[in-house]
Amino acid sequence: MRRPHFIAEQARLAKGPIGRLIAFIMAHETWSENQRAIASLAIESGESVLDIGCGHGRSLGALASLAQGGRVVGLDPSMLMAEIAVKRNRELVRSRRVEVVIGGVDALPFADATFDKALCVHVIYFWDELQRAFSEIARVLRPGGRLVLVFRTNADEKAKQAFPSDVYRFPALTDVLSVLAKAGLVGELSGSPNGPQPELALLLARKP
């Protein structure tokens, strides 16, 4: 059954009371996938990490616990999600171990070579231009930096039928790998974050 259009829009850009409900649901539904994405980055003390589309901010605390003495930044286009992320991590924000920034992936508000690691979990569906987005991510990563993506591919027929196509764009895995390469990132499929599910990809990329 196809989900209502307004619910899909809230996932893309949450706002208002419904947006708060969506944030609560997402914080629980995708947590295991966020954990596997974080684990795959092998974050070390002192590193700088960017969570693109951080949403409710549950991952930020986990990232900060690994990147001791480093910098953790959550980026999200939704003012509501940024507010929720700051409240969830208020002590870490207060101590300047975590920062939450409002913005989009098409124009990342950071200097070149700022981050060692970056992650994007279930957010690439909403990006208008994958080439521009990955080029921006490559720009802010340091040489040797790593990116992890978790996303449902166009092989997931159930997802394609459940979500309106003008909001959710499920890409082909080969297309994502191709665009990563054009952006200067070397991609490698690491499998599914939840076991043998070819329609759910965990993709690692590095900046040479």
Structure tokens at 196: 């043998």
The rounded distance, in Å, linking the Cα atoms of 176 and 124 is 10
- Measured distance CA(162)–CA(174) in Å, rounded: 23
How big, in percent rounded to 5, are the helix, strand and coil portions of the chain? 45, 25, 35
Which residues make beta-bridge pairs with 204? 148, 188
Domain 5-206 has CATH 3.40.50.150: yes
Using one digit for the tens of pLDDT, what is the confidence trace for 110-141?
999 999 999 999 999 999 999 999 999 999 99
Read off the tokens for 195.
């076991």
Nearest CA among 180, 116, 110 for reference residue 151: 180
DSSP label at residue 21: H
Write the pLDDT tens digit of every residue in 174-208: 999 999 999 999 998 877 676 656 689 999 999 99
d(CA 29, CA 1): 18
Rounded to the nearest integer, the mean pLDDT of the chain is 90
Rounded Cα gap, residues 34 and 53, in angstroms: 12
Run of H or E residues at 37: helix 31-41
Domain boundaries along the sequence of the chain: 5-206
CA distance 13 to 30: 17
Find, among 78, 105, 64, 63, the residue nearest to 23 by Cα.
78
Residue 83 has pLDDT above 90, yes or no: yes
